[in-house]
Amino acid sequence: MNAPVLVVLCGINGAGKSTFADSLAASPDLQTVASLNPDRLSADYRRLEPSLTRDLADIRALRHVAQEIHRLIEARESFVSETVGANIAYRRYVSTAKQTGFFVRVMFVGLRSVEESIARVSKRVTLGGHSIPEADIRRRWPAVHANLAWFAANADLLEVFFNADDGAEPRRVGLVRQGTIEFLDHGALPEVTRALETLPRA
């Protein structure tokens, strides 16, 4: 019997995770598994209950996602979960999933700088997307890369993608298997390179 799979799709604000998630969901091996996206769930709550504030909708969505993650891990059902990855919650989820027999695949979508992240979010807002305070983006930037290093050491597979915002699919620029890294483009994401360069090379 094949092991259940947890796919953590994480990365920088404005990097295009949700768009990437849509194409990922179309892949044959993931079409039938649960997909958890707190941002879209929050938007659904606010659409159904217009008086609900963004903060309360976000809290409700995160609580629901956490409950679903625990349920799916306990049931040993494969799933995809999307997150920025700036806190330690997903370290706990990954550890619990691995203890339960999951294969853990982390897909990280990065950007070159925090300024690029801020600009991407601003552009998204002009197109009708949701805003994120600049202070939050700057606060999350180092935490996301610190967690990326943890995922590299603890996930079964880590894939790093760069989204150039040129209409093309995100490009894979790094791959970590069994604690060893292969940089396909060493200079694409400088902060990622700094976070992972101490790993043994494949």
pLDDT in tens, the chain (202 residues): 589 999 999 999 998 887 777 776 567 666 678 899 998 899 999 999 999 998 999 999 999 999 999 999 999 999 999 999 999 999 999 999 999 999 999 999 999 999 999 999 999 888 888 889 999 999 999 999 999 999 999 999 999 999 877 566 788 999 999 889 999 998 999 999 999 988 988 7
Query: Do the domain assignments include residue 32?
Result: yes
- Containing 67, the helix (H) or strand (E) segment is helix 54-75
Query: Do the domain assignments include residue 201?
Result: no
Kindly report the CATH number assigned to the domain that includes residue 101. 3.40.50.300
What are the tokens at 39? Answer: 């941002």
DSSP letters spanning 31-62 = TTSEEE-HHHHHHHHHHH-TTS-HHHHHHHHH
Query: Do the domain assignments include residue 37?
Result: yes
| Domain total of the chain | 1
Query: Do the domain assignments include residue 66?
Result: yes
Note if the pTM is more than 0.75. Answer: yes
Domain containing residue 156: 5-196
What are the tokens at 85? Answer: 């990855």
Query: Do the domain assignments include residue 202?
Result: no
- Containing 152, the helix (H) or strand (E) segment is helix 134-154
